[in-house]
């Protein structure tokens, strides 16, 4: 087995490395960057123990056949996208410079992808919508509404296909017939969670399933953490809807901050435990408060291209009065008409000014006079 | 001694008293007197019976003094169904039929002048009362034999005329007679979609995760439910589907319900026991008497009793008159309604699950959470509208739920697969079965019926949850009665999940249901899985 192999292509080497290593293993992602995937793979195939990687992967190396794996995957509609490919989203390259979280980080060696969208095009403008699995119906409703509003504006909704907020966000996007990407912590051929088989199948038909892990791999706790960095890196910004203080969604939020992307949070009732983590992000100034799709669009779209109209109450007839006119208006009685002198005294203005103000108020239909005495106009 | 006793039943509300009709025929001044507090229709029985006996080919003791006593004498009695017992009593006293044959038999029926029998309301409850007094045989008008035969172990004789009754008592061959008209000649009106409530399915309800779960809990534990929300949000849609979530009635429940409908003269002419839970939706202009029971003459059960073991739906609640709403408080709490009048006190069962729906304001557009709120009502009017639901009545509602209008994206969700009613009904049935087993040695069937003190003593929450609930009371967030309702709700949530005891999770859900807060998704997902 130790005979030097015929050098494989970069793509095959990356496919092999994605099978050998754990996603987000810093040693591996750094060495790929320094040596190149082909070189690193050749060294490992030559049983060279770089940074202890060889001892870790020896077991997996024995059964490895990357070319066949790529062919098998292709036969099942799964493609392998790696740096240099036309479909590779450059947004992922930012991961190189981002500070690792819990010993995980770096640019993925490649991504296994299933679905009709182009990964690069879909992530041209994408927003991650993530949150707790133990969410409330409030969170789910908000997440699917935001998902629908984003996707309706052709912003791709990226999430993790988990129970709770994730699935609500995907379904909102699907309902709006818009793009959505599910980033998984297992092979894209696996239905996890199994209750979401229909959802995953549907996304594979109209959106994209994406994973750092090759087909067949099972999800583990650490793989979820590595997966979160891909979600954050594929999106321009991340919206956190309901995350309790120890939720995995906060890990995605952390990655968003380290990637210098836009972090957003949807508030809930202040007494609600599932919103506590989000409230914390907002309170510390890490996340911007958003309440609907338009808020998210304003933060993600190029500056000034999408502005949310300022919230304002309905206009009232009093809004356009000057301070002095209001002062006079306040002095006019409701039912019993009084003289100008009385209005002026009550208002504390000169009689001439009161007379002028009353004329203007009459024009606006706010006061009426009977035989030189004034009162408020009756409303119908 | 020329004295005979025939028996019948007198109803007061849903309570039946066994009445001895004692007839004495002696020499003396020729007369017929009827004593024992008969009402006008019984007084007329003298004439009906005399003519009917004559026209049937028998002899009225015309030359004698006939005294008829309805005993016990202190009970006021009502209704034309005493005719048959009086006629048979007179015939027995004048030795036209053997007196011994009258023992252990109850006679029910009105006579017409040609001696034929007429149907009377309330045959089922009368037969049930007869059975509870140890009577083994009833004689009833033929069309109502089926109704009477619903009572287990009762031997029922359905007859068409007085001659047939006499022949049966003499053990002679029963002569033929023209058939008797059933009580009501069928509905005057029928219209397409009349029976549509039975076909409505939860599978048609998109979105609304919270309200869906709320109606499931309400159905499982028999809890009163309040749905508010802007017009068109789907409150009525949900309420109409609640009967579809309930299991078929048990035999005992069917008998209760059928008996009430028999008293209300609302029993369909064909088809035996009512086995499906009823759904009654009185209009908001309904009077107190129609809703609670009463009326002129005989006290009839109201809508709340006709909805017994089923659903009473009060749509547009604030439009109901306020004394009707106030009067609902007692039945809501006790599960029965007592109507007291000068002479009589009638008690009917009224253990309906009450579902109320209300707009949040007179214009129907007010939305407390939605920034797209388009309500134009002044706040004062809105408050006045809400206050129609007075505090004490509101406190008797177990579950409050704000129904949000379905969002456009929910309608378009390609993966939406709303659960159909039969799947929910299976869970509700299982939960009710758990309750039945738990309360087997008690008079209660559902969590909503169990009194607070008993519940706290015999079926407490897991200790940690109990402490948390008490803390809510001390903090002033719940009244004592409110806490009892949360306690019952926690049991229903546990029964639906198949948990043995309600713990902190179940308590959390119960509190959310009571306050109308958003529910936890994992709980709802658990049901689908």
pLDDT number for residue A301: 84
In this prediction the pTM is 0.79
Nearest CA among A175, A128, A144 for reference residue A292 = A144
Over range B268-291, report the average pLDDT: 80
Q: In this predicted model, which residue has the larger pLDDT, A202 or A63? A: A202
Contact assignment for A137 to B519 by CB distance below 8 Å? yes
Task: Summarize pLDDT for A213-236 with one digit per residue, the tens.
Answer: 999 999 999 999 999 999 999 999
Residue A227 CA, distance from chain mean position: 15
Confirm whether the ipTM is greater than 0.85: no
Residues of A in contact with B518 (CB under 8 A): 136-139, 141
pLDDT number for residue B42: 83
pLDDT number for residue A1: 43
In terms of CATH architecture, what is A90-300? 3-Layer(aba) Sandwich (3.40)
**All structural domains of chain A with their residue ranges:** 10-70, 90-300, 323-376
Residue in the block written with tokens 């040695």:
B441
Residue A380 has pLDDT above 60, yes or no: no
Over range A6-31, report the average pLDDT: 91
With contact defined as beta carbons under 8 Å apart, do A305 and A337 qualify?
Answer: no
With contact defined as beta carbons under 8 Å apart, do A247 and A277 qualify?
Answer: yes
Contact assignment for B371 to A136 by CB distance below 8 Å? no
pLDDT number for residue A314: 66
Task: Summarize pLDDT for B426-475 with one digit per residue, the tens.
Answer: 999 999 999 999 999 998 889 998 989 999 999 999 999 999 999 988 88
Distance separating alpha carbons of residues B201 and B219, to the nearest angstrom: 14
Q: With H, G, I as helix, E, B as strand and everything else as coil, classify residue A375.
A: strand
pLDDT number for residue B193: 45
Sign of CA dihedral A294, A296, A297, A301: positive
Residue B1 has pLDDT above 60, yes or no: no
Distance separating alpha carbons of residues B423 and B244, to the nearest angstrom: 11
In this structure, the dihedral spanned by the alpha carbons of residues B127, B132, B137 and B138, taken in order and rounded to 10 degrees, is -20
- DSSP secondary structure of A30-96: HHHHHH-HHHHHHHHHTT--STTHHHHHHHHHHT--HHHHHHHHHHTTEEEE-TTSTT--GGGGGGG
Least confident of A14-28, A256-270, A276-290, B262-276: B262-276
Over range A63-68, report the average pLDDT: 90
Sign of CA dihedral B183, B184, B186, B190: negative
Contact assignment for B413 to A137 by CB distance below 8 Å? no
Q: Which of B518, B526, B527, B529 to mutate to test the interface with A (most CBs of A within 10 A)?
A: B518
Nearest CA among B258, B390, B374 for reference residue B317 = B390
pLDDT number for residue B455: 93
pLDDT band at B71 (very low <50, low <70, confident <90, very high): confident
Q: In this predicted model, which residue has the larger pLDDT, B364 or B249? A: B249
Residue of chain B whose alpha carbon sits nearest to that of A166:
B521
Farthest-apart Cα atoms in chain B, separation: 91
Distance separating alpha carbons of residues B503 and A87, to the nearest angstrom: 52
Residue of chain B whose alpha carbon sits nearest to that of A206:
B414
Contact assignment for B408 to A148 by CB distance below 8 Å? yes
B391 and A CB contact within 8 Å:
no
With contact defined as beta carbons under 8 Å apart, do A101 and A258 qualify?
Answer: yes
> Within 13 Å and on the Cβ side, how many CA atoms surround A208?
28
Residues of B in contact with A148 (CB under 8 A): 407-409, 412
Bridge-based pairing state of the strands A126-131 and A237-241: parallel
Q: Which of A136, A310, A313 to mutate to test the interface with B (most CBs of B within 10 A)?
A: A136
Across B366-426, the runs of DSSP E, i.e. the strands, are: 399-402
Residue B418 has pLDDT above 60, yes or no: yes
* Residue A180 β-bridge partners: A157
Q: Which CATH number fits domain A323-376: 1.10.10.10, 3.40.50.300, 1.25.40.20, 1.20.120.1630?
A: 1.10.10.10
Q: What mean pLDDT value characterizes chain B? A: 85
Sign of CA dihedral B329, B254, B265, B356: positive
Distance separating alpha carbons of residues B57 and B272, to the nearest angstrom: 35
pLDDT number for residue B373: 67
Task: Summarize pLDDT for B312-360 with one digit per residue, the tens.
Answer: 998 888 888 888 888 888 887 788 888 887 767 788 888 888 899 988 8
Over range B165-178, report the average pLDDT: 89
With contact defined as beta carbons under 8 Å apart, do B450 and B444 qualify?
Answer: yes
Over range B177-190, report the average pLDDT: 63
Backbone angles phi, psi at A230, to 5 degrees: -70, -40
Contact assignment for A144 to B412 by CB distance below 8 Å? no
Q: Which of B409, B477, B509 to mutate to test the interface with A (most CBs of A within 10 A)?
A: B409
A164 and B CB contact within 8 Å:
yes
B409 and A CB contact within 8 Å:
yes
Over range A292-300, report the average pLDDT: 92
With contact defined as beta carbons under 8 Å apart, do B351 and B449 qualify?
Answer: yes
A175 and B CB contact within 8 Å:
yes
Decide whether A90-300 matches A323-376 in CATH topology.
no
Q: Which of B206, B214, B367, B415 to mutate to test the interface with A (most CBs of A within 10 A)?
A: B415
Contact assignment for A163 to B407 by CB distance below 8 Å? no
Backbone angles phi, psi at A173, to 5 degrees: -65, -40
Residue B147 has pLDDT above 60, yes or no: yes
Residue B529 has pLDDT above 50, yes or no: no
pLDDT number for residue A2: 44
Contact assignment for B409 to A164 by CB distance below 8 Å? no
* Max avg pLDDT among A111-120, A349-358, B105-114: A111-120
CA of B523 vs chain A CAs: smallest distance (Å): 9
pLDDT band at B194 (very low <50, low <70, confident <90, very high): very low
A&B contacts, CB < 8 Å:
70
With contact defined as beta carbons under 8 Å apart, do B361 and B381 qualify?
Answer: yes
Tokens of B521: 């998704």
Residue B172 has pLDDT above 80, yes or no: yes
Contact assignment for A136 to B529 by CB distance below 8 Å? no
Task: Summarize pLDDT for A118-162 with one digit per residue, the tens.
Answer: 999 999 999 999 999 888 999 999 999 999 999 999 999 999 999
Domains belonging to chain B, first-starting first, are 3-169 (3.30.230.10), 196-418 (3.40.50.300), 450-529 (no CATH)
Distance separating alpha carbons of residues A251 and A229, to the nearest angstrom: 8
Distance separating alpha carbons of residues B264 and B279, to the nearest angstrom: 15
pLDDT number for residue A3: 43
Q: In this predicted model, which residue has the larger pLDDT, A289 or A317? A: A289
With contact defined as beta carbons under 8 Å apart, do A320 and A336 qualify?
Answer: no
Residue A288 burial (C-beta neighbours within 10 Å; 0-12, 13-18, 19+):
middle
The 8-class DSSP code of residue A336 comes to: S
Instruction: Give the CA angle between residues B306, B308, B311 to the nearest 5°.
Output: 90
pLDDT number for residue B27: 87
CA distances for B307 relative to A300, A321, B122, B312, angstroms: 56, 59, 17, 6
């Amino acid at each position: 087995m130790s005979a030097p192999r015929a050098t494989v292509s970069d793509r095959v080497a990356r496919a092999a490395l994605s099978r050998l290593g754990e996603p987000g293993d810093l040693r591996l992602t750094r060495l790929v960057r320094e040596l190149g995937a082909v070189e690193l793979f050749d060294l490992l195939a030559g049983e060279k123990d770089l940074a202890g990687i060889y001892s870790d992967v020896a077991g997996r190396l024995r059964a490895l056949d990357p070319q066949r794996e790529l062919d098998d995957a292709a036969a099942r509609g799964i493609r392998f996208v790696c740096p240099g490919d036309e479909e590779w989203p450059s947004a992922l390259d930012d991961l190189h410079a981002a500070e690792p979280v819990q010993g995980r980080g770096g640019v993925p060696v490649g991504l296994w992808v299933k679905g009709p969208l182009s990964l690069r095009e879909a992530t041209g403008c994408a927003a991650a919508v993530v949150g707790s699995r133990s969410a409330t119906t409030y969170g789910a409703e908000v997440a699917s509404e935001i998902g629908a509003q984003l996707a309706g504006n052709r912003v791709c909704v990226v999430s993790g296909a988990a129970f709770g907020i994730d699935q609500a966000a995907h379904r909102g996007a699907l309902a709006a017939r818009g793009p959505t990407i599910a980033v998984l912590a297992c092979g894209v051929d696996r239905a996890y969670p199994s209750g979401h088989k229909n959802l995953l199948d549907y996304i594979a038909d109209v959106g994209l399933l994406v994973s750092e892990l090759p087909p067949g791999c099972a999800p583990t706790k650490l793989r979820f953490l590595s997966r979160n960095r891909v979600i954050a890196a594929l999106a321009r910004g991340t919206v956190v809807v309901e995350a309790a203080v120890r939720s995995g969604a906060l890990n995605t939020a952390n990655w968003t901050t380290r990637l210098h992307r836009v972090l957003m949070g949807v508030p809930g009732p202040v007494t609600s435990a599932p919103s506590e983590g989000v409230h914390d992000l907002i309170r510390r100034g890490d996340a911007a408060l958003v309440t609907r799709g338009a808020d998210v669009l304003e933060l993600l779209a190029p500056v000034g291209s999408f502005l949310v109209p300022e919230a304002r109450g309905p206009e009232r007839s009093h809004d356009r009065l000057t301070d002095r006119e209001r002062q006079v208006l306040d002095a006019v009685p409701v039912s019993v008409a009084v003289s100008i002198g009385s209005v002026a005294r009550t208002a504390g203005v000169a009689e001439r000014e009161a007379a002028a103000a009353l004329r203007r108020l009459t024009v606006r239909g706010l006061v009426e006079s009977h035989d030189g005495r004034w009162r408020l106009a009756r409303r119908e | 001694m020329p004295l005979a006793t025939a028996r019948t039943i007198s109803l007061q509300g849903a309570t039946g008293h066994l009445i001895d009709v004692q007839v004495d025929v002696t020499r003396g001044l020729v007369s017929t007197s009827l004593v024992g507090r008969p009402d006008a229709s019984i007084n007329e029985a003298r004439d009906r019976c005399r003519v009917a006996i004559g026209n049937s080919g028998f002899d009225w003791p015309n030359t004698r003094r006939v005294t008829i006593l309805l005993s016990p004498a202190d009970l006021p009695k009502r209704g034309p169904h005493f005719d048959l017992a009086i006629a048979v009593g007179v015939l027995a006293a004048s030795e036209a039929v053997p007196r011994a044959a009258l023992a252990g038999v109850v006679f029910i029926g009105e006579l017409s002048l040609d001696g034929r029998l007429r149907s009377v309301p309330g045959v089922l409850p009368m037969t049930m009362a007869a059975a509870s007094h140890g009577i083994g045989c009833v004689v009833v008008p033929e069309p109502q034999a089926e109704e009477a035969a619903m009572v287990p172990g009762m031997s029922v004789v359905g007859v068409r005329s007085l001659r047939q009754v006499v022949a049966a008592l003499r053990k002679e061959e029963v002569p033929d007679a023209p058939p008797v008209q059933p009580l009501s000649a069928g509905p005057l009106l029928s219209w397409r979609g009349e029976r549509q409530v039975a076909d409505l399915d939860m599978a048609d309800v998109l979105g609304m995760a919270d309200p869906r779960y709320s109606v499931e809990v309400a159905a499982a534990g028999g809890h009163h439910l309040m749905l508010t929300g802007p017009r068109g949000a789907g409150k009525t849609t949900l309420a109409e589907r609640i009967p579809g979530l309930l299991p078929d009635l048990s035999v005992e429940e069917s008998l209760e319900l059928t008996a009430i409908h028999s008293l209300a003269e609302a029993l369909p002419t064909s088809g035996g026991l009512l086995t499906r839970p009823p759904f009654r939706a009185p209009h908001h202009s309904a009077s107190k008497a129609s809703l609670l029971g009463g009326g002129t003459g005989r006290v009839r059960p109201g809508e709340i009793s006709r909805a017994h073991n089923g659903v009473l739906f009060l749509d547009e609640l604030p439009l109901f008159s306020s004394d009707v709403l106030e009067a609902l408080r007692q039945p809501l709490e006790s599960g029965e309604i007592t109507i007291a009048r000068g002479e009589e006190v009638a008690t009917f069962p009224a253990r309906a699950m009450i579902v109320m729906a209300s707009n949040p304001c007179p214009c129907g557009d007010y939305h407390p959470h939605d920034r797209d709120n388009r309500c134009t009502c002044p706040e004062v009017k809105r408050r006045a509208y809400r206050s129609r639901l007075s505090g004490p009545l509101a406190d008797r509602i177990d579950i409050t739920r704000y129904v949000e209008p379905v969002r456009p994206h929910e309608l378009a969700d390609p993966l939406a697969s709303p659960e159909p009613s039969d799947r929910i009904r299976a869970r509700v049935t299982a939960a009710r079965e758990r309750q039945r087993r738990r309360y087997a040695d008690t008079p209660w069937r559902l969590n909503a019926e169990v009194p607070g003190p008993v519940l706290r003593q015999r079926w407490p929450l897991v200790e940690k949850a109990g402490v948390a609930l008490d803390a809510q009371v001390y903090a002033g967030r719940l009244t004592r009665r409110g806490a009892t309702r949360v306690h019952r709700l926690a049991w229903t949530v546990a029964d639906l999940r198949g948990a043995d005891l309600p713990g902190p999770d179940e308590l959390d859900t119960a509190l959310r249901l009571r306050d109308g807060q958003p529910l936890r998704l994992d709980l709802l997902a658990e049901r689908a899985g």
